[in-house]
Structure 1
Amino acid sequence: MTTLSPLKLLPLLLPISFLIIIGFIWVPNQLELLDNAYIDTFKTGFIGILLEALPFVLAGALLSSLLRVFIPDEMISRWIPRQALPAILFACLLGIIFPVCECGMIPLVRRLIHKGMPVYVAIVFILSGPILNPVVYGATLTAFRNHSELAYARMGLAFVVACIIGLIIYATVKKSPIRLSVQRETDNTHHNNSRGGKLAAVFVHTSDEFFEMGKYLIIGCLLTAGIQTFMVQDSLAAIGDKPLGSYFFMMGLAFVLSLCSTSDAFVASTFVHSFPAGALLAFMVFGPMLDFKNSLMLLSLFKTKFALYLFFLIFSSVFIGAVLMSLWL
């Protein structure tokens, strides 16, 4: 029987703290929270977002598990072009062919780097893979049925940001930023595949990833339903009316919620009448690239200086790109 490590609970502390802060600071009138109208609105919002997102989370977990079990890491490594630009474009294409949620991206990339994938290619795959895939595109299109341009803009901005950051890393980083502890690791990717066969391994990995992503989805749905129900709508409108404030708020919310890329569009769609399209786009691109849980995983994979450099590149690129894209939206 496995014990739950306190480190595994660490990514949950910030979202829970955020929920407590909302409960005590942003509620319009705490006595009114006992009103049945508030409770009914909260339950309806929470269940609606959760039920819409769950099928896409399950599909993403299943496809990620199929990739993990049936596609050897060596096969992907052999396909990588030698030239920088084709290699970057290839890394973006990997996300389309092999959909992997950001929750499982770091372990996969760790194995690929161990087998010889260049770091700048790995970075592009980390950034683009969770967004540039058919499951996420379908989820975004479903969430924004009446605003399909946001789905196209999300794919386009993620592709451009990943390519730009990949080129910057290729041009500026010459020494390996991988932690020495990671470089010494042995590859134990498929050590469980022999027990019960590959089909059993698919079900095991799918259930593990589904429940791993599910807890973040539930927290995100709770926070979003709470904001929509208890926060004064004038306050949301005031934040949305501020050109920079709306972007910073939505990007900060994406970092805190740590949602899976297959479900964040459903959360973003609840803010469609309160925030500009550019801020919603920043939420949907920034969150899968950098949130609380994967920032911890990136810090465990890369040296601290490089990780902070990468965080800055992601934030600035997404922010500038979303502002420019808002001119089209």
Structure 2
Amino acid sequence: MKSFKGTLLGFAKDLSGFILLILFLILFFNIDSFKNEQVGITVPDTWLLIHMNFLSIVLEAVPFILLGVFVSALIQIYVKEEIIHRYLPKNAYAALLPAAIMGAIFPICECAIVPIVRRLIKKGMPLHVGVVFLVAAPILNPIVAASTFFAFRTDLSVLYARMGLAFILSILIGAILYIIFKNKDQLRWTKDELVGRQVVVDPIYPRKMNRMKQTMYHAADEFFLMGKYLIMGAFVASLFQTLLDREFLLAIGTNEWSSTAVMMGFAFLISLCSEADAFVAASFNNTFSTGSLVAFLVYGPMLDLKNTFMLFAFFKVRFVVIFMTVVTVVVFAAMIALQYLQIL
């Protein structure tokens, strides 16, 4: 009975997310009709802007979510736990450096990183190593480096500061969380969840699926699991994107402390993809200090609103709260120190 109720509740959540997306799509493709007063329905311009911002976030994130869940499915099927244990250094602190280097190799943004890290931890990757990969990969990857270069090609110090800080701070954050949690299990587990120890069986043909079919099955399952949290996060972020007054940001960002805090908060709320956030930061080049712009570019990919929904969905609440606190304090302290030393 409890299992049936859980399945019914999960179906209701999936259906509500799907209906929300369909409503926004209908509004998007019929925007001219809604703005026409002859139809008899007039939607305020603010809500039209909210729906456009929502769709821009969703459409920007979906390809990376697809990439993330597909890579996650490949890890589930093809990567054995023994491989992870064999190649990772036995020393907890020595394992931090390879995790940061791995983040620099794979072109994965913050939209796709949560399902991949979640799967790697399930496969036996230590929690603190997963944390390093979680915060490093969305910034250190080659695509983000290229976009930052083109956005700030007249001031490459922003590029160097962003990449250097992401590498160093990701290792520091991983070390702090290792000290706090000592790699205790922080994942949320459900009875119905497909884990690496279970064999996937085709409901029509009882024989075992081949590996490719299992990969597609896992990818589809993970996509719909992640998608509903992406939609919720994107909707809340679109509200902030539309209703947040930039003049207010400029008014409170008058010194190094406040401008850094403002730009970090702005990065969290608007939830931009790390492949595109450098161009938004460049638009503030003449109004905010270089240090606060770097804070925007480092903090946003590590932690934003849409990712927070996913983190709370798949990790324990205490871990997520501490993770968010550590990331915020470490990034803010590093940026203030660099500005105080006049390095930025």
How does the TM-score come out when normalised to structure 1? 0.69
Counterpart-to-counterpart distance in 1, 2:336 and 2:146:
24
CA contact (8 A) 1:77 1:115 kept: no
What are the equivalent positions in structure 2 for 1:48-63 lying under 5 Å apart?
Answer: none
Q: What residue in structure 2 maps to residue 269 of structure 1?
A: 282
1:117 to 125, 133, 141: 125
Q: What residue in structure 2 maps to residue 24 of structure 1?
A: none
1:172 to 167, 172, 180: 180
Cα offsets for 1:187-245 (capped at 9, x unmatched): 379979969889999x999x9999x9899899979976987xx855xx55433323222
Measured after TM superposition, the shift of residue 325 of structure 1 is: 2.8
Counterpart-to-counterpart distance in 2, 1:190 and 1:277:
52
Counterpart-to-counterpart distance in 2, 1:148 and 1:215:
36
Measured after TM superposition, the shift of residue 122 of structure 1 is: 0.9
Structure 1 pair 134/190, CA: closer, same or farther in 2 (3 Å)?
A: farther
Structure (1 or 2) with the larger CA radius of gyration: 2
Counterpart-to-counterpart distance in 2, 1:272 and 1:213:
30
Residue identity in the other structure for 2:302: M
Residue identity in the other structure for 1:121: V
Q: What residue in structure 2 maps to residue 245 of structure 1?
A: 258
Q: Does 1:328 align with 2:336?
A: no
Q: What residue in structure 2 maps to residue 132 of structure 1?
A: 140
CA contact (8 A) 1:143 1:269 kept: yes
Counterpart-to-counterpart distance in 2, 1:138 and 1:156:
15
Counterpart-to-counterpart distance in 2, 1:143 and 1:58:
24
Q: What residue in structure 2 maps to residue 293 of structure 1?
A: 306
Residue identity in the other structure for 1:79: Y
Structure 1 pair 250/218, CA: closer, same or farther in 2 (3 Å)?
A: same
1:93 to 101, 109, 127: 101
What are the equivalent positions in structure 2 for 1:144-155 lying under 5 Å apart?
Answer: 144-155=152-163
Structure 1 pair 8/82, CA: closer, same or farther in 2 (3 Å)?
A: farther
Structure 1 pair 271/310, CA: closer, same or farther in 2 (3 Å)?
A: same
Unpaired runs of at least 5, structure 2: 1-10, 22-44, 203-208
Measured after TM superposition, the shift of residue 319 of structure 1 is: 0.4
Counterpart-to-counterpart distance in 1, 2:133 and 2:194:
22
Percent identical pairs in the alignment equals 35
CA contact (8 A) 1:236 1:274 kept: no
Structure 1 pair 196/301, CA: closer, same or farther in 2 (3 Å)?
A: closer
Unpaired runs of at least 5, structure 1: 12-33, 35-41
Residue identity in the other structure for 1:304: V
- Give the structure, 1 or 2, with the largest relative contact order (CA under 8 Å, sep 6 or more): 1
Counterpart-to-counterpart distance in 2, 1:312 and 1:91:
21
Q: What residue in structure 1 maps to residue 205 of structure 2?
A: none
Counterpart-to-counterpart distance in 2, 1:190 and 1:273:
57
Counterpart-to-counterpart distance in 2, 1:241 and 1:318:
19
Counterpart-to-counterpart distance in 2, 1:247 and 1:88:
27
The number of aligned residues is 287
What are the equivalent positions in structure 2 for 1:1-329 lying under 5 Å apart?
Answer: 5-6=15-16, 67-68=71-72, 72-74=78-80, 75=83, 78-174=86-182, 176-179=184-187, 181=189, 185-187=193-195, 231-232=246-247, 237-326=250-339, 327-329=342-344
Q: What residue in structure 2 maps to residue 16 of structure 1?
A: none
Cα offsets for 1:150-201 (capped at 9, x unmatched): 1111111111211111111222323624245259843379979969889999
The answer to which of 89-98 and 57-66 deviates more is 57-66
Counterpart-to-counterpart distance in 2, 1:184 and 1:197:
19
Counterpart-to-counterpart distance in 1, 2:243 and 2:182:
46
Q: Secondary structure at the match of 2:184?
A: coil
CA contact (8 A) 2:17 2:231 kept: no
Structure 1 pair 112/163, CA: closer, same or farther in 2 (3 Å)?
A: same
Counterpart-to-counterpart distance in 1, 2:215 and 2:188:
34
RMSD over aligned Cα atoms:
4.4
